[in-house]
Structure 1
């Protein structure tokens, strides 16, 4: 009766050798099979309200109290953090001042030692020997070695405590 043959398009069916009445019935059938979404599932509908009713504002005063409490807690947290950072900065400044003081003391001792060494060297060149113990070169080497050991110790302290 009605013969179908696939057309060049994949979604089209062509009825060859069928009457106009059969074609109309087939068309009506395929339109009924193609289901439309229900009214409830459509985004826009003329017979439905689009928005839900707005909730009453009965709890508004509670939200202000809560907001004020949260702001106060946030300010306290920021204050504590800034206080901690300030204390760290003050401690760091104190440590740096102490290191600078020790460095200056060590430098003064080195300058005194170098001055004494130059005086002994000048006296040795002039031939003014007071006693042999004063011109002992080993004592100069010991002082230099001790200063180098102090430098190494201080560097090791700085490596162990990087926040000084």
Structure 2
């Protein structure tokens, strides 16, 4: 009598001592049906995990290339959408007008400031000459102090 490997395995490891033959057969059926599956990591393929990347569908070039195909005509915007677009245009136009007014006012103020400076330029004292003289005097006194210190060292 040659036994298959599973039967030999069952006889070696499934031992039911002190039980009736019916209980033993039921127990063998139960234990053989409860065999565990290998973990997902050890399987080559899994139903839960997609094994392949999705295939891209071929893209259609332009719709005009298809003979007999008429492109759909876009529907005109609805009345509320038209009103909203018109209000936005009016708002942007008002902002542009306000910007132009502000630039004109700034330009006018700049011209007035330049005219005032030109008028008062004739009456302003020359500040540059007085500033140039003072540092020269200080430099002269510093030179004299330095000369005296050198004489003392000799």
- Bin of the TM-score, shorter chain as denominator length: 0.3 to 0.5
Higher percent of residues as strand? 1
Larger radius of gyration: 2
| TM-score normalised by structure 1 residue count | 0.33
| TM-score normalised by structure 2 residue count | 0.35
Q: Which has the higher contact order (CA 8 A, sep 6+)?
A: 1
